[in-house]
Amino acid sequence: MKKLGYVVAIFCVLFSSCASDEDCCLPNPGGANLIIKFAFNPTQERLNNLGESATIPAGNAAQSPIFSRMSANYIELASSANTLLGNGEIIYKGAETTQGGELAIDFQSAQFAGNDEVFLTIPLSEVASGTYNWVRVSLAYQEGSINLLQNGNDITGTLASFVGYNSYITNFDVNGSTFNINENKAQGFWAFEALGFATQGQAPAGATTVPNPLFNTSPIPQGSCVVTGQFANAFTITGTELQDVEVTLSFSVNNSFEWTEINADGKYEPSIGEQLVDMGLRGLIPEVSN
């Protein structure tokens, strides 16, 4: 696939792509395919922005959401720790638009996958032969269930969080509640529904953890939400594959929803002023199977 040799500064990455999002999802009837799946793991190691093991800070609490679906708008394979963002093998980019002003992810054109579901299928013939040690995924959206305490009652609600660098949203639905937006929203925009009650808000800038173990050799633009993960063994594409190759992108959701505690009981209670401080994923491990 055509490679991209540059990155635009702050909040956006310019990508090369398949002819269209739809083309990226069609199986290859005459040859082997590269299949990308998502997995959400609540027991996978919890990392910080530098890819180091992270505990929950004093005064905060956290929980592991049960994600129902997720979207990404960029996937890149990198050969080494020194491969700069944008200089690897870009195998997917989602639709973008300037309809809301600045360049943004076009949420209405996004594709999604749930746990252990296929997000992307492309012919292996469209991926450059080579050995890859790293994968980068720019996340765009995540949706799942969280628990909270409301007026002394434990309830479950659905959180929709927009973690991409910038998202143009016309409208979206959460459990039957429709949110009409019709504008760009920066990273950290969220919406919530529980028992018929719906609300929305904006997390503080920089409140989304984006693990990047290659921080020193291959940094990412602030706010881009490009999560980086290393293959346990080098992933080699020879160009002569006869069977499909499946890569599962296992994302850590280990205590990925974090808030400040007022009542130190480990329960999220927004009605008393407990504030969301982080909703970023906590690590990425790519796993290859044939």
pLDDT of residue 10: 29
d(CA 223, CA 53): 21
pLDDT of residue 30: 55
pLDDT digit string (tens) for the chain, length 290 residues: 433 333 333 233 333 334 344 444 445 555 899 999 999 999 999 999 999 999 999 999 999 999 999 999 999 999 999 999 999 999 999 999 999 999 999 999 999 999 999 999 999 999 999 999 999 999 999 999 999 999 899 999 999 999 999 999 999 999 989 999 999 999 999 999 998 889 999 988 888 899 999 999 999 988 888 999 999 999 999 999 999 999 999 999 999 999 999 999 999 998 899 988 898 999 999 999 86
Residue 287 has a CB neighbour count (10 Å cut-off) of 16
pLDDT of residue 186: 94
> Residue 92 corresponds to which tokens in the numbers above?
């997917």
Residue in 174, 177, 178 with CA at minimum distance from that of residue 159: 174
Vertex 61: Cα angle to 57 and 64 (nearest 5): 115
Phi, psi values for residue 133, rounded to 5° = -110, -15
Q: Which residues lie closer than 8 Å to 155 by C-beta, 6 or more apart? A: 147, 148, 149, 194, 195
pTM above 0.95, yes or no: no
Q: Kindly tell me the sign of the dihedral angle through the C-alpha atoms of 14, 200, 174, 60.
A: positive
Local structure of residue 53 (DSSP, 8 states): B
